Amino acid sequence: MIPDKHIDDLKSRFRGTLISPDHAAYNTVRQVWNGTIDRRPRLIARCTSASDVVEAVRFGREHNLLTAVRGGGHNVAGNAMCDDGLVIDLSMMKAVVVDPQARTARAEGGATWADFDTETQKFGLATTGGLISSTGVAGLTLGGGIGWLMRTHGLASDNLISADVVTASGETLTASESKNADLFWALRGGGGNFGVVTSFEYQLHPVSMVMGGMVIHPVARAAELLRFYRDFARTAPDSVTLLFVFLTGPPAPFLPVELHGKPLVAIAVCGLDISAEGEKAVRALKEFGPPLVDLIGPMPYGVLQGLNDPSAPHGIRSYWKSEYLNELSDGAINALVDGMSRVQSPMSQIHVHQLGGAVARVGPDATAVSHRSAAFVTNVLAMWPESSADAAEIAWTRGVWEAMRPFGAGAYVNFLGEEGEERVRASYGETTHAKLAAIKRRYDPTNFFRLNQNIRPS
Ligand code: FAD
């Protein structure tokens, strides 16, 4: 336990809430999205401002506490929580302020994409964000940030204009192209290694109605659909972003009852052009097969952003493995189809995200995001409710990934679990990793921020 007098001392300078294990809210506040994470910190500092974050960082250092930083709390590895240490929790810092004239938005470090989209969509504006609205803007942006708008507008991190950061020494800095440019480079892909970001400033783009939804096919046609997906993705305009999904039919009103509980495959889409030309761009998707169900049509972008939320409820147990693919070869397709045939939990999914477009047009050294030339990134996502199924679900995920791995080009850092240093290196490549390690030495030489996909200071 941390002696009461130290906590009282922090309390006198701290405007948020300090939550110790004896606090009534402790067991609620220590929960994160992934239900397999059950960690018991000594203190959770729920910050309300950058000055609270400064106090919390200084407290962590002074008392030599293992320190975690929580944004949206969505990371599958559970790095937002720790055992026996301090959690700097930003989840009460959710403000998002839009400047519609400049087309920019500032989001505090605990905002989610739901918070962000709600404010920016009031002005018909958006920037690339996550596919599930409860994901934090912080972790997603710091790791790169793929989403529906990326092939036109780049990754979430490509839209970052500046970030306010509390460093390991408790200093507050702004990072942008013109201020602390090395830190700004590292923050765009390097994850939570370099400090606590209290505020993110983003470039916005006009986005209101989109061509969204999915076409759904029987799993028996998975291989055929994946080959079609590969060919369609190659020629699709940048205004179209695609996602192949293997899923089990949810008991949702938009699905005929006979498909509930059935293994299915789908191609989901976001098209930014809803004109006749835009409709033409996705027509082949609607015609191929034909699909069992066609749910593609014009919808508000904000609706598309919340459409998949029921598939990833808070507290579900989860384990993931990801791999970039330079191409979707027949071998990779066979591995995916075989993996689908062995799925256990009806909540588990396999995703193949289409990349390219604006993602690939940013130079490989421009930010810390690697694998920009990959055509796809796959993610095997086991999700299940009962702890008794943990071992079997983890084994399924690993099995599918092992079969995929010969075709892979490295991991996407935001989809990594606790997978060790080699996988972190594989998600950056040697050159980017070495540069990140040098910047880490400058801003966090003692590796105070180490509960993340850790890059040790060189
Ligand atoms: P947290 O768990 O709070 O934090 C993740 C990491 O970031 C931790 O290491 C933490 O210390 C650090 N961190 C958090 N906040 C800060 C901060 N303010 N300053 C400094 N460091 C901080 N990724 C995509 O790219 N696109 C998607 O569409 C997408 N969809 C997802 C859907 C689901 C259901 C889930 C669970 C994840 C998804 N992800 C997606 C992955 C997601 O980007 C990462 O899990 C990301 O780390 C989540 O950010 P967070 O702030 O919610 O997480």
pLDDT at 55: 98
- 153 token code pair: 């507008």
Residue nearest to atom 5 of ligand 1 (CA): 139
What is the pLDDT confidence band of residue 4, given thresholds at 50, 70 and 90? confident
Indicate if the pLDDT at residue 3 is higher than 90.
no
CB distance 88 to 57 below 8 Å: yes
pLDDT higher than threshold 90 for residue 1:
no
Q: Tens of pLDDT along 312-334?
A: 999 999 999 999 999 999 999 99
Specify the pLDDT at position 419: 96
What CA–CA distance (Å, rounded) separates 247 from 265?
6
The answer, yes or no, to whether any atom of ligand 1 lies below 6 A from the CB of 189, is no
What pLDDT sits at residue 109? 98
The answer to whether 166 touches 54, Cβ cutoff 8 Å, is yes
pLDDT digits (tens, 9 = 90+) for 147-161: 999 999 999 999 999
Tell me: the pLDDT tens digits for 249-298? 998 888 999 999 999 999 999 999 999 999 999 999 999 999 999 999 99
The DSSP element (H or E) to which 27 belongs, if any, is helix 26-29
Residue 224: pLDDT band by 50, 70, 90 thresholds?
very high
Predicted pLDDT of residue 396: 98
Q: Across the chain, what does the average pLDDT equal?
A: 97
pLDDT number for residue 124:
98
Tens digit of each residue's pLDDT (9 = 90 or more) over 414-425: 999 999 999 999
Structure-block tokens of residue 198: 């209290």
Q: Using a 6 Å cutoff on CB, does residue 192 contact ligand 1? A: yes
Nearest CA to ligand 1 atom 38: 135
Query: Which residue's C-alpha comes closest to atom 45 of ligand 1?
Result: 75
| Euclidean distance between CA atoms 251 and 130, whole angstroms | 24
**Distance in angstroms (rounded) separating the CA atoms of residues 403 and 338:** 9
Specify the residue with its C-alpha closest to ligand 1, atom 40: 130
Q: pLDDT of 301-315, one tens digit each?
A: 999 999 999 999 999
pLDDT bracket for residue 357 (50, 70, 90): very high
Report the separation in Å between the CA atom of 319 and the middle of ligand 1, taken as the mean of its atom positions. 15
Proportion of the chain above pLDDT 70, given as a percent: 100
Structure tokens at 447: 């590796």
CB 73 within 8 A of CB 33: yes
Q: Is 147 in the pocket of ligand 1 (CB under 6 A)?
A: yes
Distance CA 258, CA 112 (A): 35
Helix, strand and coil content of the chain, in percent to the nearest 5, comes to 35, 25, 40
**49-67 per-position pLDDT tens digit:** 999 999 999 999 999 999 9
- Phi and psi dihedrals of 372, rounded to 5? -70, -20
The whole-number pLDDT of residue 173 equals 98
> Would you say 263 and 246 are in contact if contact means Cβ atoms under 8 Å apart?
yes
